Structure 1
């Protein structure tokens, strides 16, 4: 902890947190111990009041300044010269945290298909374990999009007054049948891969390519594909849109693991902020922090009204909207609009 307080280095630093304390999951299953890979940018100030905690989306990693380079970095909205930015690779993901390819202490072998089901609430509980280790009594801003937004919402309920602001981007308090349907179609594609079920790290790789192609159709809007993937010439085959989806599938399969994808899409499906809390509205009402819910006008996955609902039912909530043809992924692309929305949100906070 002293290193974080005194370091003058404002560049990226990678860490791994290990917990030997068992993590009891919502399912009743237990992970005996686990690792969380995390990355920090900037310097923690003396009273630890400048913490910005970023929660990545489905296939993200802890290097937030790389996949959110328009929002995090020198001269950007979250500048390491004034913010202490932390991002953790979620439990189950294959970028350094405990995942299906990690060793199961019960058997001495990799988990593979025996990796337990995790929920956004479980993922938030693992982040809470790290927060306590780092001795952060207060988090200034917790921000996440899509799956990351689900985890952030769950953690916001649990953090209570330890959290000042939570920003939920293109997400939901309870996963809709529409999203579950998209995710199930992707898992069916993975299941169709003949290597699925094998005890090898590459199991389901070709299926993951197809799954990603399906996912891209939910991440983009038809107008975006029309603008960027329309063929200029007349043809019968070899369309740009087809090549684009194949490329995106191969790109993900080369950096991500089908087992982790399976686990994290299942986690997304399980989101229900109101489970065991008297319903979704009661759970949102219980959040003590100021809530900014940001929707995307063309989002076909997590609809704008789902973000509006989060803002309306929170005690201190407000809604803002990104206008873009990019669809769901606009929260990762429209840095200018998002920076303006965040600036307005913080300005109102200062007046309150």
Structure 2
């Protein structure tokens, strides 16, 4: 029986799942490396190791920069599939991913068929909605408005990326979350905590990521449609053979809980569970206790 747990990271994540999901993965955690063979590979287009916009274009022997091809979540899943074959892994016990990682996970689950036992899709969707595309477009507009965008260097669009991340953070959180954590006590006219928080978040990402990878992966998210050329999402979801656990977040303003419910309701063997949190979309990276409880009951259900 396979003990492979394959983790798929989100938009600006990396392959160090034990760092960004430390409440779920690690020694004595729900997914313990002493019991599970845990894999997390960097997605294509991301700047942490796999082929991305600064990689060498074989046609020109220079970095791709703005000529980097547009990729879909299907392409990203295909990249992971090639890695699985290369690693000679026959079956995967569990595929788990949130947000963009969940989208790629659904695409891969569709093609894996009987080679996959369980797919856990968190705060994600079978097709990207206009609402999400709209937010992603405003972020790309912010990057475009940076006067360095278009230059062939790794810092191009960096200030624009800071703004893009600040916009994104508002979609990852919920108004109540900012209300509790970023509220100002005295009668202020400027220098509000919420403002400095968003600036800080923008700067933090710009130090570790780049605008071109961000651009590429946000476009990838927009392209996501499990039902493309497969008779629509419902039809495509009904073809997935694995047990599917779709987890929504009650306060998610980006990928609404109904979208996770749609996934669980359309697959052959689907379960829906909900995380209750004021954190919004990012709750899938934060609410470890709830997540561990949900996962535990899901796996117990498989045994009966």
Q: Give the TM-score of the pair, scaled to structure 1.
A: 0.86
- Which digits, 9 at most, give the CA deviation of each residue in 1:259-290, with x for residues without a partner? 00000000000000000111100100000000
Q: Does 1:143 align with 2:96?
A: yes
Residues 1:64 and 2:17 are matched in the alignment: yes
1:92 aligns with 2:48: no
Provide the residue aligned with 1:187 in structure 2: 140
Between the aligned partners of 2:301 and 2:4, the Cα distance in structure 1 is 19
The Cα shift of 1:232 comes to 1.1
Alignment correspondent of 1:261: 214
Matched residue, 1:314: 267
Distance 1:80 1:108 in 2: 40
Q: Deviations over 1:143-170 (max 9, x none)?
A: 0000000000000000000000000000
How much has 1:234 moved relative to structure 2? Answer: 1.0
2:279 match: 326
* C-alpha separation in 2, matches of 1:134 and 1:254: 33
The partner residue of 1:168 within 101, 121, 138 is: 121
Structure 2 Cα separation of the partners of residues 187 and 111 of structure 1: 19
From 81, 92, 97, the counterpart of 2:34: 81
Residue from 114, 131, 135 that aligns with 1:178: 131
CA distance in 2, matches of 1:63, 1:297: 27
Q: How many residues align?
A: 304
Rounded Cα–Cα distance in structure 2 between residues aligned with 1:277 and 1:136? 27
Q: Tell me the distance in 1 between the aligned counterparts of 2:85 and 2:52.
A: 22
CA distance in 2, matches of 1:350, 1:112: 49
- Alignment RMSD: 0.5
Alignment partner, residue 245 of structure 2: 292
Query: Within 5 A, what are the aligned runs for 1:268-287?
Result: 268-287=221-240
Structure 2 partner of 1:41: none
Provide Cα deviations, 1:85-129, integer angstroms capped at 9, x if missing partner. 000110000001110000000100000000000010000000000
State the distance in 1 between where 2:43 and 2:233 align.
Answer: 24
Structure 1 gaps of 5+ residues are 1-46
SS in 2 for 1:254: helix
CA offset digits 1:36-86 (Å, max 9, x no partner): xxxxxxxxxxx6x10000000000000000000000000100001100100
Residue segments in structure 2 that go unaligned for 5+ positions in a row = none
Higher-RCO chain (CA-CA 8 Å, sequence separation at least 6): 2
**Counterpart in 1 of 2:189?**
236
1 or 2, which has the higher helix percentage? 2
